Amino acid sequence: MKTPLIVYTAFRQITVLLVVGLIMVLCLFAQSVALQRSARIASLIEGVNDMVVAPKTQWLIYSCLFFYITTLIFIEWRLTGVPPWRPGNPSLWIFLCAIVAALHYALGYPESAIPPEALIFLGGILLGHLTSIWLLYDESRRSSANHHRFILLLLAFLLWSSSLMQFNQQPSFSYLGHERWSGPWGSPNCFGLIMGTGIVLVLGLATGISHPTSTNRLRVGTWTFTDGGYFGWVVTSALLLASIFMVKSLVHTYSRGAWLATLCGLVYLTVDWLRTQKLKVYRRIYQNIISLVFIGISIGVLSFWYCRHTEWGIARRAFSVANVNDFSWRNRIAAYEGALQVTADHRYFGVGWNRPEQVYQNYYLAPRLTESAAIQMNDYLMLGATLGFPALFCFGMYIWLSLAQKSRGISQIESTQIASQFAACRAGAIVLLVGTLE
C-alpha cells in the first residue's frame, strides 16, 4: 500500500510544481518578444487577450477574481486564526484596496475595461493571496520549505535565462551611442528591474545554501538532495555564475532606477546576513549608522566631482541625476508634479481606471512637454491618481505589514532553514518597490 501512496504523493507534488512553473513563465514572458515570434504561441496569447479585453466577457472574469479573493481571505482566516478585520492583518488593507478598485471598475464600465489595467491589478492581488495560502497550508501541515526553495530556484533560472535573450527591436534604445539592452520585453527599465530582482534573489539563495551549518535538504518528488557537500557547492556556484550574467545585463540597461533599486536590495541582504551571523561588525554598524550615512553621502559627492567630465558611459549615466541639463529626469519630475496635482485635485476617489493619462494631458501637462506617457513610470502616483489617496494608503499599509510580519506556524529548526529564503524574497520585493518609483 505504501508504493501507490508514494507514487501518488510524488505525482501530486510534481504536478503542483509544474503548474506553478507554468504560471511564472506566463507572468514573465506572456508579453515578451520571444513568445510573440512563435506563431502558435502568439495566436494562443492573442485569443486569450481578445477574451480578456472584450468588455462583454471581461466583467465576468473580473467578478470571478473578486469572488476568489474574498474566498481566500476567509480561508486564510481559518488557517491562521487571525480575523481579517484586524488592522495588523495585511489582507485587510489589500482587500479594501480591491474594493475601491472594483467600485471604480463598475462605475466606469465599459470605459474601464480597455486597456485591462483593472483586471491586471486584481489578478496580481489574487496571485499574491494564492501564494500566501499555499505557504500557510504547508506551514499548518508542518511540511518543509523544499517546495518553496525549489520554486525560488526555478524563478532564478527563468530570470537568468531572460538575461540571455536579446532581440534587435525598432526603435532601439541608446545612451551616448551605447545600446541599452531591453531583453525580451522591449523596455530597458523593465529589463533592468527584473535583472536586479534576479540578482538579489540568487545571492540570497546562494548565501543560505552555502552556509557552513546548513543541513537543508531539497526534495523534489522522490529525489532528495542535501545542501552540504558537492551538491550545495554546485548549486551555489551555479547561482553565483547566473548572478554574473544578470549583473552584466543590468549594467547594459543603463537604467538608473534599476541600479538604485538593486543597490537597496543588496544593502538589505548584507544587513540581514550580518544580523543573522551575530557578528560584532553588525553592532558597530548599527551604533554608527548616522556617521556611515554621512560618509556614504560624502563619497558620492566626491565621486561625482571627480567623474563629472568622464567619458565612461556607465559613470556618466549614474551621475547624470545631478546634471541640471539632463532632460530625462527633469521631464520625469515635471510629469510627477502633474501626477501629484491630479491626485491632489481628486484625492478621495481619483479619476478612475484608464483616465489619469488623458486627464493629465488635457489639464496638467507642462507647456514644455509634448507627451504625457512619463506619468506612467511611477506606479504609486498612477495608483493614487486612479483610485485616490485612500486606496494608495491601503496599498502602502499592505506593503509595510507584509514586509514586517514574520512567518507563522513553523518550528524553530524550519525557521532557521528558510531564513535565507525570506531574506531573498524581501530583498526582491524591495527592488521592485524602489524600482517602480521611476
pLDDT in tens, 330-342: 777 777 888 888 8
Q: Which of the four pLDDT bands, split at 50, 70 and 90, describes residue 414?
A: very low
pLDDT in tens, 26-54: 778 777 766 666 666 667 767 777 777 77
Average pLDDT over residues 177-204: 86
How far is the CA of 63 from the CAs of 54, 66, 102, 116, 283, in angstroms? Answer: 14, 5, 9, 14, 51
pLDDT band at 413 (very low <50, low <70, confident <90, very high): very low
pLDDT level of residue 285 (50, 70, 90 thresholds): low
The pTM of the full predicted model, rounded to 2 decimals, is 0.81
190 has a pLDDT exceeding 70 = yes
CA distances (Å), origin 88, targets 261, 317, 429: 27, 41, 20
The mean pLDDT of 63-81, rounded to a whole number, is 87
Ranges 156-170, 391-405, 418-432, most confident? 391-405
Residue 377 neighbours by CB distance under 10 Å? 17
What's the confidence (pLDDT) of residue 225?
43
Residue 297 scores a pLDDT above 80: no
